[in-house]
Structure 1
């Protein structure tokens, strides 16, 4: 028996995007109705011609979709080249040969995306390296877009690959996304608090405190703190002795100076303190030990503890008895008889010279001299 579809009729090919095909046919039908309602004016003729061009494009797209071979189900789960495109769009260059040497890549700073890293400082170092690279007919914009992915490692590299393909079209956009990711508002607020609550250490020199305060300002260039407040936060964070030094240098008129004049005075005092501010005398009760000395002391202490433990675990060897006085408290080499005389030891221990006693309980050398065991017999 033959089935219902075995009468020589052609089957309609399977359409994977049937909804799209229905929309296209619906648009064609509406266009044809509009053409029938329109008259023979020039505008209607132009509209008809535009519609005809659109219909031709649609028919070409349908033809291309129909001509594509059918794909197996497993092929839809296989990674294609279109899914591995970079998120950075590189513009065309006029140079015939554009090559990045390996030496350029090794000069770049590295950023791993850790919480203790400074992304703003990474951008600065990257700018310094890119400023030394000049290629004929290649703009700095192209060089920065090409080299920046090589400066990212580990977590930062994974973040860059997670961005949508061809979503970055300029260096400013790339730098902005990078700072938004690794310099969040929470980190900015923390640095602002560190600036506002700056405090000098108890034994920290004045020049080191000044350098540390400037480093905080450089880590957060967008802190938004005006100059006179910066000067006030730094002055209030100094120790009492350094406040007196600043007041003496300014003759008690620090608040009469402008913020720039005050910072110039701080720099002058810091330079003077760095060159001539070393203390010659040691402070009472303060002992500074270098790292090597501390490690050696800890090692020797551990060795002593280990030796004591080994003695407690391993049993000691049997104690020797003095062969002269039979005293187990000292060996033969340390016997008192060596200093007091051999005769006194004999008298104290009632020592008798060995006789040829055949019935002695100890070793009797008299057996060797027994008359019945001589060679003469």
Structure 2
């Protein structure tokens, strides 16, 4: 049988032969990998026959391959190890109601920023060190998170704030900032420090600088508000929010350094000195009043014990007291006169003591 012209063989192409061999080898490797995966899955996942052959004790035993950590740590470019010194320096957060989560994160950032190993980012350090900064209720919360729930420091920080600093707490702090007021007797420095502490406890309050200064200014007492307006050149509203905040801060620091300590000490001493002098004057006046009353009673008793003669009786009958219009006694022995005399002497003595006391207080001041 002879071949026709169309049945002639094509020329041998080595390039096509290499491509065909490469495709055949790739198919063989894919088949091998599929067989390997199927065999490994058969080994890891027990077959129904294997499950049925296990005892109840074996079926109730914990899974040794379970991943307990809620953090999926990313792979690091270099070697990294948490030192025990760093772990001891970390702040501790227990998760109690009175603790400040934002302050804990701030202190945690300060400690972790001191370590900068080569090839390791700060976020990777924080992600690995953060579980060691939790204790008590906060650590229980971390362990109860699902497996692989956190894979980066941003996710860890977000989950931590959502748990221990919810939106309801943010709303309460915003309300306290808007309605803050200076207490009677509270200095400008103490009021300013309380305001700054309240604002820093909630960095996500989302209140502008202009409103913060306005809320602080509206809560001032009239005296401090007038002082700030005078220092601002007439009115604080003529300043920018940054200038107004700087002015208030300078005045608060100045009042704390030079305003209150010397004046308070001197005022206490003066009040104590005046109080002691008043007590002495009061006791002396009571003694003097009792002495005058006793003298008046003695003089009346002495006049009644002497029996008068007929001439004295007639003279006494002819005399009438010019003070109270009584015929029983003379004008010199009138009780009203004795009382007026005692009161006059008491006023003289009181004026003498008051004059001396004021001179003493003036010399002490």
Say whether the fold is shared (TM-score over 0.5). Answer: yes
Match of 1:255? Answer: 237
- Paired residue secondary structure (1:282): helix
Q: Which residue of structure 2 lines up, in the alignment, with residue 153 of structure 1? A: 135
Residue in structure 2 matched with residue 77 of structure 1 by the alignment: 60
Aligned residue pair count: 239
The question of 1:125 aligning with 2:111 is answered: no
The alpha carbon displacement at 1:131 in A equals: 0.4
Greater mean deviation of Cα atoms: 198-207 or 150-159: 198-207
**Structure 2: distance between partners of 1:95 and 1:221:** 35
Counterpart CA distance in 2 for 1:62 and 1:274 is 74
Structure 2 CA distance for partners of 1:232 and 1:75, relative to 1, 3 Å: same
Deviation at 1:255, TM superposition (A): 1.2
Q: For residues 98 and 244 of structure 2, what CA distance do their matches in structure 1 show?
A: 32
Whether 1:87 and 2:70 are equivalent positions in the alignment is: yes
> Aligned equivalents of 1:59 and 1:82: distance in 2?
19
Distance in 2 of aligned mates of 1:104 and 1:230: 38
d(CA) in 2 for partners of 1:191, 1:219: 8
What is the deviation of 1:54?
10
- Of 187, 195, 204, the match for 2:186: 204
Tell me by how many angstroms 1:61 deviates: 6.3
Indicate whether 1:220 and 2:202 are aligned.
yes
Structure 1 residues 216 and 62, CA gap change in structure 2 (3 angstroms): closer
**Are 2:154 and 1:169 equivalent residues in the alignment?**
no
Shift, 1:217, TM fit: 1.1
Shift of 1:189: 0.7
The TM-score, its normalising length taken from structure 1, stands at: 0.57
Larger mean Cα displacement after TM superposition, 112-121 or 137-146? 137-146
Give the structure with the higher percent helix.
Answer: 2
Summarize the alignment of residues 51-66 of structure 1 with structure 2, pairs less than 5 Å apart. Answer: 60=39, 63-64=42-43, 65-66=46-47
Q: Which residue of 2 aligns with 1:101?
A: 83
* Residues 147, 55 of structure 1: alpha-carbon distance in 2 compared, 3 angstrom cutoff: closer
Q: 1:224 to 1:283 in 2, by over 3 A?
A: farther
TM-score (norm 2): 0.59
Equivalent residue for 1:178, pick from 160, 168, 184 = 160
How far apart are 1:55 and its partner, in Å?
8.3
- 1:1-377 aligned at under 5 Å gives the runs 60=39, 63-64=42-43, 65-66=46-47, 70-96=53-79, 98-278=80-260, 279-280=263-264, 281-282=266-267
Gaps of at least 5 residues in structure 2 are: 1-26, 273-365
Equivalent-residue separation in structure 2 for 1:135 and 1:55 (angstroms): 42
In structure 2, C-alpha distance between the alignment counterparts of 1:108 and 1:59, rounded to whole Å: 48
CA distance change for structure 1 residues 57 and 94 in 2, over 3 Å: closer, same or farther? closer
Structure 1 residue 238 displacement after superposition? 1.1
Alignment RMSD = 3.0
> How many angstroms apart in 1 are the aligned matches of 2:230 and 2:165?
41
**Deviation for aligned residue 1:212:** 1.1
- For the residues of structure 2 that align with 1:264 and 1:225, how far apart are their CA atoms? 18
